[in-house]
Structure 1
Amino acid sequence: MMKTILVFGATGTLGAYVSVHFHKLGYRVLAVGHRKSDNGFFADYNIPYYSVDISKAEDFKKLPAEGINLVAHFAGALPASMRGYDGSLYIDTVIKGTYNILEFMRMNHIPKIIFPQSLFDVSYLFGSKIPIPADSEMKAPMDGDHAMYVIAKIAAVQMIEHYYKVHGIKRFILRLSRVYVYHPNPYTFTNGEKVMVSDRFFMQRAESGEPIVIWGDPERLLETCCVEDFLQIVEKCAESRLDGGLYNIGSGGSTLDERIHAIVDVFSDPDNKPVVTYDPDKRSAMQFVLDISKTKSELGYEPRYSWKDYCKWFMNERRLQRFAKLWGTEEDYK
């Protein structure tokens, strides 16, 4: 019998990739997003799209309730997409929205949820090359633009754990390092201010042959997870017979030096390669790496994409423009 997955946040970066991936696996996919229109994107895959505000319980009446096997909940406000600051959005979408989703699942006997946790719940362990265990204590930072977001995510995870204990809803919590995808928008927000994503900046420099300077310690270790490896993990969560738990998402990391030279190799013209130099007196990147041994042992995960593999995948994905109808093109973000 065909399984049905209900994807919340389906118009977002990860939710869209999850929706298309499970459609290709043969699942019946129900796509849910906050946007009023998906511009007909999901109809191209014969996937129904529902516009739902998850902070409003009455909106869930729009959704079908029968025969759903699992929920992938990737909806909610993000610091990376928030111009300025409005902490109430985290309360509404992450805490209240998750509660409404859990209630919908309870009432309709949906047995499993997949939910992303913020990496910053273990930010107190950053700064080392020692892999951070999956079952490390969750602690929110008390300052910075991620504080209220992480507080809300921890509350949501605890709610999910409560529904597991009381109602038996299996839960697969995925602690996300940054999942590397292709999106036509090269910008993000830091402390509410618009900035270019660092990888996209270096890609642009490589393509134009302009010099690249590596700041600080080039051996700083940074976690890496290509979206294809992320989708492998989500698929394994969907198929798992376990009750779940909290799993780290990563691949073992790569150094800043490795990342920059891979970008140069993949994105630059062989006849116009940028010169890479070092400035050790500049501030070093914050390093961290996640321990993925639990993800491997319990889910059978094996990373397939190195950082250089991701760069090659990015080039191909940018050429294909699979999500242009949903997100536009790079010209729309200039």
Structure 2
Amino acid sequence: MKKIIVFGATGNLGANICLHLKDKYEIIPVGHRKNDNGFFADYNMHYYSVDISKKQDFNQLPHKDVYAVLNFAGMLPASMKGYDPELYISSIICGTLNILEYIRKINVDRIIFPQSLFDISYLFGTKTPIPANSIRKAPYEGDHAMYVIAKNAAVDMIEHYHSLYGLKRFIFRLSRIYSYDPNPYTYTDGEKVLISDRYLIYRAMEGKDLEIWGDPKRLLETVHVYDFLQIIERSLEVDHEGGIYNVASGGSTIEERVKGIMEIFNPNPNAKIIYAPEKTNSTQFVLDYLKTVNELGYKPSYTWKDYLEYFKEEMKVQRFKKLWGEEKDYYKNNI
């Protein structure tokens, strides 16, 4: 089996990638955490603890016969308490450069890298699908600004190594990938908040009414983690130079989302959906994924309701408990 290194393996997307690909490839999971609590060993994978901002840490990794590197490491605004822009520089810019040098030295065939959706945030606000090849621009305000600046710099470095060394590159612009995580919190402007759809799911599980704020027909991208994993798998199989691709499925409306949560999670037949058009609208956007279809053979297969059914099942089986803990741990420790 071809050998693949997954940086950021202890994160949500990285862990899902490792489990999805393990039967087709020899997966080497790499993370910043000192240990993985033995999670990957349960799947016959050896975990490496590497700080990608430190060149010397790469010495412990394989130095031959690596087919592909997936770089899903790096600080996220959703994980940052307060504000420390240096973490974006060290983990995304310096870290990506170190990974590229590692790739160059051992002659890796391709790299897969997640780009921030906010590089095209200037095009948000309509239902017109945003093309994959739209001009990348970092916002200069808000908690994502320095993050997107760093991501754009990383993409530029990857394109440089593609041009100079022939490195195949598959750069995926990610909207939110919907997958299960026991942590129900995110950070906005450095402050911890409950994830919005998790709030609605919890209310539904308690049999309460749900509200739809603003325009119920606002459209948001919806990408089930299984569709995302399909794209990752196809990018490892195709024989061309790659490029920048949108990860998308056509989106779902706010109304479809809330109605789905009510149907899947609410045990109370008398619970109601309350429309509140006077409250804040969501910022709508949808991505054009035709390039992903044409060049990678992507076939969107999962709906918002499919995601909710999957989420409900994952809450029961807790596949990643050993790696991430359970929801009660986040409530108890307020993390």
TM-score (norm 2): 0.98
Shift of 1:259: 0.4
* Separation (CA, whole Å) in 1 of partners of 2:182 and 2:271: 24
Secondary structure of 1:202's counterpart equals: helix
Match of residue 290 from structure 1? 287
Among 306, 309, 312, the alignment partner of 2:306 is 309
Q: Which residue of 2 aligns with 1:75?
A: 73
> What are structure 1's unaligned runs of at least 5 residues?
none
Letter in 1 for 2:318: Q
Letter of the aligned partner of 1:166 in structure 2? L
Q: The residue matched to 1:172 in structure 2 has which SS?
A: strand
- The 3 A distance-change label for structure 1 pair 264 and 144 is same
Q: Give the whole-Å Cα distance in 2 for the aligned partners of 1:166 and 1:290.
A: 30
Q: Is the 8 A contact 2:208 2:266 kept in 1?
A: no
Take 1:153 and 1:274, find their aligned partners in 2: how far apart are those partners?
A: 43
Which structure 2 residue ranges, 5 or more long, are not aligned?
A: none
Counterpart amino acid of residue 293 in structure 1: L
Contact 2:216 2:253 in 1 (8 A): yes
Corresponding residue for residue 197 of structure 2: 199
Structure 1 residue aligned with 2:238 = 240
Q: Deviation per CA, 1:197-225, whole angstroms, max 9, x where unpaired?
A: 00100001111111211111000000000
Q: Is the 8 A contact 1:205 1:274 kept in 2?
A: no
For the residue of structure 2 that corresponds to 1:162, the secondary structure is helix
* Match status 1:109 vs 2:116: no
Q: Does 1:17 align with 2:28?
A: no
Q: Answer whether contact 2:214 2:279 (CA < 8 A) is retained.
A: yes
Residue 126 of structure 1 is matched in structure 2 by: 124
Provide the rounded CA distance (Å) in 2 between the counterparts of 1:93 and 1:240. 29
Identical residues among aligned pairs (%): 59
1:278 to 2:284 alignment: no
Query: Does the 8 A contact of 2:74 with 2:92 survive in 1?
Result: yes
1:274 is displaced (CA, Å) by 2.5
Q: Secondary structure at the match of 1:69?
A: strand
* Counterpart position of 2:143: 145
Q: Distance in 1 between matches of 2:57 and 2:27?
A: 19
> Could you list the per-position Cα deviations for residues 42-92 of structure 1 after superposition, in whole angstroms to 9, with x for gaps in the alignment?
000110100000000011001111111000110000000100010000000
Q: Is the 8 A contact 1:205 1:211 kept in 2?
A: yes
**Structure 1 CA distance for aligned equivalents of residues 63 and 17 of structure 2:** 20
Cα distance between partner residues in 2 of 1:333 and 1:260:
25
Give the number of equivalent residue pairs: 331
Aligned Cα RMSD in Å? 0.7
Give the superposition deviation at 1:272.
3.9
